[in-house]
Amino acid sequence: MKDDFNKVKNYILDLGHSITKEDEADGLLVIDDEGLGIKNLVIGLADSILIMEQYILELKHAPKETYIELLKKNRDIIHGAFVLDESGQKLIFRDTLQMENLDQNELEGSINSLTLLLSEFSEQLIGYSKH
């Protein structure tokens, strides 16, 4: 796991992102790149999988139509998807990648998918946050 952790950490640094927290023992990295809209993007390594999660917003009183629109938007997302946390009230972007073949381009593609989603869908997300 240490080799995988260092590989992912080096990829993140090579891509120019800031690591704000890291815990090698738990296989966790947190990155920020506010210019791209990334704040507290959690990257976790579990067995042979890399998991990325970015909290987006609360959906406490969102109407049914909001959830339908989010599910439809999942079809357009290149890598990853919108998911809900266990409470069903927090909207999260989540992606999983296999560590076995992971390269920097694949990790960059997942991060770029998130930033593209945030830039293209920002007005709708802001609207959802007002429910």
At 61 the pLDDT is 87
Q: Is 125 exposed, middle or buried (0-12, 13-18, 19+ CB in 10 A)?
A: middle
At 2 the pLDDT is 78
Amino acid at residue number 32:
D
d(CA 124, CA 114): 15
At 111 the pLDDT is 96
Q: Compute φ and ψ for 85, nearest 5 degrees.
A: -75, -175
At 20 the pLDDT is 97
Domain-by-domain residue ranges, the chain? 2-129
At 95 the pLDDT is 98
The class (CATH top level) of 2-129 is alpha beta
The full 3-state SS of 28-57, as one line of letters, equals EEEEEEHHHCEEEEEEEEECCEEEEEEEEE
pLDDT in tens, the chain (131 residues): 679 999 999 999 999 999 999 999 999 999 999 888 899 999 999 989 999 999 999 998 899 999 999 999 999 999 999 999 999 999 999 999 999 999 999 999 999 999 999 999 999 998 888 87
Strand stretches in the chain, DSSP E: 18-23, 28-33, 38-46, 49-58, 81-84, 90-98
Q: How far is CA 13 from the centre of its chain?
A: 17
C-alpha torsion sign, points 22, 25, 26, 27:
positive
Q: Which residues on neighbouring strands pair with residue 30, listed in sequence order?
A: 21, 42
Percent of the chain with pLDDT over 90: 85
Q: Is 106 exposed, middle or buried (0-12, 13-18, 19+ CB in 10 A)?
A: middle
